[in-house]
Structure 1
């Protein structure tokens, strides 16, 4: 088993940004016709630390060897580096994103990727130390949430489902909603930060009334479930995470990893590891 832990994100991301070509044409590796457990094929995968890398580690330690693959896992804390590294060939695949996020990345940055079916869902969750119930939220409260457009709209829709916002449309953002009295009757104020920084702002800034946090960072930051104000519904949720690879480059090893990610063993692992419902199987 090979494993790399915790990329030096800043330096690596800068290097990737200089070398990536917006998902331009890459030379496809020679496909692996068969997989041999005696000489396993290495698959380099970038993933968010929790739960994605944990799931991959489970596969690497329990399922990969007999399947003829050997995972080289790189933990990446941000949401930009995994696609940059996949586009420039540093990674064979990544495991961290949703359909809407991937579609936005491909449209804006020119990546040419393909992906498998959903593996798990991390419900987006609104946390608060100031309010026990949604009805308690006071006018003008500060909400900290994700600054990338796709996850930000998803976060705003969580607040809408809770009854704090109203009448959202595709393309809405904190900027369009904040001063719209019809959509934001409680005159909530919004602070936009990188997704991985939301828990830090929530835990360290006493002015924050509500924080809308991505599921993987909830687990990573060990947020208190008793502070949950409202949580995104898991049923029929389109925001499942999946394995992604460069278009036309799904080797036998990548196909096998995609299959293992949606195996009975992984479904049971997810259910028993995250009994609090912060991570749920999507299959």
Structure 2
């Protein structure tokens, strides 16, 4: 009887260990480890799907879960529900860590998505009328990025270019532009309601906007906002996470990004 109880206890321990494992958890295939990544649909999840076969050869089973917002991907990683995420740049990550007391860290940079301005009412930024309404992303880091882009076009002037910015940092607004802050994912939907909107490339592409052809103005390829693979502090050296980082920075992935997105998404390695 004691022997039977010992066998049952051992089986239960095995089940619990499998259920609670994170990066490097053994999956159903013998010798295969599983890594879960939270990602935006375009281009992040598409890039991850592309590298799945490469990771399979490395003994890694990659599971990708798509999120439509910029809040949950960090939350699920911080809580240990997923191993990593791929959707954000470092300024966004640092702001989120500070505001939410998270411990997310960069693993590697992958690509840049130049942020751009779009309009259904004008064809040239010179046609923007006094008092026009501009829709901007409402999260801190992307709002800062948008305001800097507007300053580059001489539409506004900020008090300085250091740190995060809000409308309060606008010291000159000669056209008396009005600003509407919108959840980033919803910006394409309000394009009909405003004179101009500054939209993240991933949401622009999902809305069938071509960042290269449809923009009124766009960040150049030297933008510091590189999209990164990120994980919770302490897990960045895990073997499975490092293998994922390696294939994301491979020549094959670089060619995929260049061929598929044709400059709308730019490799950063």
TM-score range, shorter chain: 0.7 to 0.9
Tell me how far 1:92 sits from its aligned partner.
0.4
Tell me how far 1:113 sits from its aligned partner.
2.0
Residue 19 of structure 1 aligns with which residue? none
Aligned length: 245
Provide, for residues 84-134 of structure 1, a one-character-per-residue CA deviation record: whole Å limited to 9, x for no partner: 100111100000111100011111111112212210000000011222222
Alignment pair present for 1:45 and 2:34? no
1:123–1:233 contact (8 Å) kept in structure 2: yes
1:47–1:53 contact (8 Å) kept in structure 2: yes
Alignment pair present for 1:211 and 2:202? no
Work out which of the residue numbers 152, 176, 181 in structure 2 matches 1:192.
Answer: 181
> How many angstroms apart in 2 are the aligned matches of 1:57 and 1:242?
16
> How many angstroms apart in 2 are the aligned matches of 1:30 and 1:221?
34
Residue 21 of structure 1 aligns with which residue? none
Provide, for residues 30-71 of structure 1, a one-character-per-residue CA deviation record: whole Å limited to 9, x for no partner: 88599xx962211010000000000000001x3111111111
Alignment pair present for 1:246 and 2:232? yes
Alignment pair present for 1:83 and 2:70? no
Higher percent of residues as strand: 2
Cα 1:185–1:219 change in 2 (3 A) is: same
> How many angstroms apart in 1 are the aligned matches of 2:125 and 2:35?
45
1:157–1:168 contact (8 Å) kept in structure 2: no
> How many angstroms apart in 2 are the aligned matches of 1:210 and 1:168?
23
Secondary structure at the aligned position of 1:101 is classed as helix
TM-score, scaled to structure 2: 0.85
Alignment pair present for 1:231 and 2:223? no
Secondary structure at the aligned position of 1:190 is classed as strand
> How many angstroms apart in 1 are the aligned matches of 2:73 and 2:252?
26
Q: Which runs of at least 4 in structure 1 moved beyond 4 Å after TM superposition? A: 28-34
Cα 1:110–1:133 change in 2 (3 A) is: same
For the aligned residues, what is the CA RMSD? 2.2
Tell me how far 1:185 sits from its aligned partner.
1.1
Which structure 2 residue ranges, 5 or more long, are not aligned? Answer: 1-19
* Larger Rg over CA atoms: 2
Residue 252 of structure 2 aligns with which residue? 265
